[in-house]
Structure 1
Amino acid sequence: MSIYVKNGILHVSGAQDKLRQKGQEKPDFLSNYTMLDIETTGLSPYRDRITELGAVKVRNNQIVDQYTNLVKFPKNNKVPAFITKLNGITEEQIVNEGIPAEQAIKEFREFIGDDPIIGYNVNFDLNFLYDLSQKYNLPVLNNDYVDVLRLARAYYPRERHNRLIDCMQRAGIAQVEQHHGLADSLDTIKVYNDFNKHFTEELLEAARSRIKNFDLTGDELDYYQLGFRNPVQNKDIVLSGHIHMDQNEANKMIGNMGGTVDDGVLATTNYLIMGDHDFFRKDNEDLNTARDLIKNGAKIKRLSESFFLGMLDDWARS
């Protein structure tokens, strides 16, 4: 098998270097770790920015150090209004109080060191931190991690929502979430410690069992295995240009995940997946067709192979 998920990590023969080489999720209760949380201008590490970094270092279940800083970028520090409404962070604050992004990520990466990382829905944070670390040629952020959201889903299996604020309110920790890196890190420690008091081995095993392990190019997968976060379900997809994935394996994977591979771009196409270096070529027939259809109202998303594989890896880790 050449495209598969093992211990929550996507593996793609021929294209593994296009994926972030992050660590492995290992649900557990640790006494030594770094808890972290970041604030950003949006959900995508490709187009959005970190606005604030927060982390807490724990040794023998005791807080021994903290880190917090606003992050200032060289050209653009605008903050969407809805983000400012959420956490109060403004462009003016970042410009006046923030430290340069290069300095901030270097300090933050050094603060984390080789620690296991813990956070809430922490894969989101890791994507931003990984990319910014790579931008400034820092050590690869491949620390193993614990996602407290995974523990929450095991502890509250019948709840529709398991946000940090939900867990805080259920445990009587707090009624509001601060949406600031350091404050949320401290609150997540409280939730993590509360789970530690109440978890059984059966609950911990339930959390571990939800980490994905399966071959994406073997037999067709059931919907319950794929989950509702599957980014390929019911999508019409075209692969075009110089793709590093094996075409036949990619077609099989997409079909197994509930999607359809088309030979050419149509008005009904959802994703046009292109080789990373084909994105701006004028001689790609699929891309030109997509541009024309988009002008006429088609909802076609043009994605690079790296971006598409990143989507799949995020799903594999969810």
Structure 2
Amino acid sequence: MYTVLDFETTGLNPMTEQVTEIGAIKLDDQFNEVGRMSVLVKLRKGQVLTDFIKQLTGLTEEKLSTGLDELNALQAVTNFIGTDIIIAQFASFDLGFLPFSNNNDFICTKSMFKLLYPEKKSGLKQIVEHYGIEYKNHHQAMADVEMTVQAFLCLKEECDIKGINYLNVMTEPEDRPLKFVPTKATVVQEVQV
């Protein structure tokens, strides 16, 4: 089984920032959807949303005021994931905010795309446009998860045909080291082209 995961957060650093929204879709071994969860996360005391994050995600303090507290939200998504393989667009980022799932295997769609196309940018927008997938509502957790599911299926087919291993693989640019390296990760330096 697989869980495709996306977090929206107050910022990039898991040590000082927090999760604000969680989207997750569970897939069976034939990649059919068998469940989903979507959760808003209440801001910790003293945590704020910058204007940039509000514009990017469409979230506000008011919207988040009815959410789960962060610990309960993270525990809920961890329970939802169970022992599944976690799929995320940038696994290093999302797993950095998920302290309870360090033993799960993972697949990073950003890294899959870099292994296939080292010369191309590997953001979600570039990947979905490459495969002709509609790019909509980016930085809304469930929309990002839905696009990541579609992108993953395209990437998996291409990687499998070419014999590219992508399980527990993170690519890393030479000039931008990963801020968080998942426990099971094999880090591959990105080819400079």
TM interval, short-chain normalised: 0.7 to 0.9
Contact 1:168–1:175 (Cα < 8 Å) also in 2: yes
Do the aligned partners of 1:165 and 1:177 also contact (CA within 8 Å) in 2? Answer: no
Return the letter of the residue paired with 1:79.
Answer: L
Corresponding position of 2:40 = 70
**2:2 corresponds to:** 33
Mapped to 2, the partners of 1:49 and 1:316 lie a distance apart of 26
Q: Which has the higher helix share?
A: 1
Structure 1 runs (4+) deviating above 6 angstroms are: none
1:229 to 153, 168, 176: 176
Q: Give the corresponding residue for 2:164.
A: 204
Pairing 1:241-252 to 2, within 5 Å after superposition: none
Q: Which runs of structure 2 are paired with 1:245-284 in the superposition (5 Å)?
A: none
Note the C-alpha offset of 1:92.
0.9
Question: 1:129-148: per-residue Cα shift (whole Å, max 9, x none)?
Answer: 11xx4xxxxxx532111111
RMSD of Structure 2 on Structure 1 (CA): 2.7
Check the 8 A contact 1:52/1:181 in 2, yes or no: yes
Three-state SS of the structure 2 residue aligned to 1:99 is: coil
Match of 1:174 among 134, 139, 162: 134
- For 1:108 and 1:312, locate their aligned partners in 2 and report how far apart those are by CA, in whole Å: 20
Letter in 2 for 1:166: Q
- The structure-2 alpha-carbon separation of the partners of 1:198 and 1:313, relative to structure 1 and needing over 3 Å to count, comes to closer
Structure 2 counterpart of 1:257: none
1:33-83 per-residue CA deviation (whole Å, 9 max, x = no partner) reads: 011000001000111111011100001210010011110144135211101
Structure 2 residue ranges without an equivalent (≥5): 189-193
Tell me if the contact between 1:117 and 1:144 (Cα under 8 Å) persists in the aligned partners: yes
Q: What is aligned with 1:187?
A: 147
Contact 1:117 1:145 in 2 (8 A): yes
- Aligned letter for 1:228? D
Is the aligned partner of 1:165 residue 2:134?
no
Note if contact 1:123-1:317 (Cα within 8 Å) is conserved in structure 2.
Answer: no
Deviation by residue 1:226-255 (Cα, 9 ceiling, x = unmatched)? 822248xxxxxxxxxxxxxxxxxxxxxxxx
Q: Distance in 2 between matches of 1:312 and 1:99?
A: 25
Note if 1:91 corresponds to 2:51.
no
Contact in 1 for aligned 2:43/2:61 (Cα 8 Å): no
Q: Do residues 121 (structure 1) and 90 (structure 2) align?
A: yes
Q: Distance in 2 between matches of 1:146 and 1:312?
A: 15
Give the C-alpha shift of residue 211 in structure 1: 5.9
Q: 1:172 to 1:113 in 2, by over 3 A?
A: same
**Structure 2 counterpart SS, 1:72:** coil
CA contact (8 A) 2:93 2:180 kept: no
Give the drift of 1:182: 1.5
Displacement of 1:178: 2.1
The answer for unaligned runs of 5 or more in structure 1 is: 1-31, 134-139, 213-224, 232-310
| Cα distance in structure 1, aligned partners of 2:180 and 2:145 | 27
Give the counterpart of 2:107 among 146, 150, 153. 146
**Matched residue SS, 1:129:** coil
Maintained 8 Å contact 1:154/1:203: no
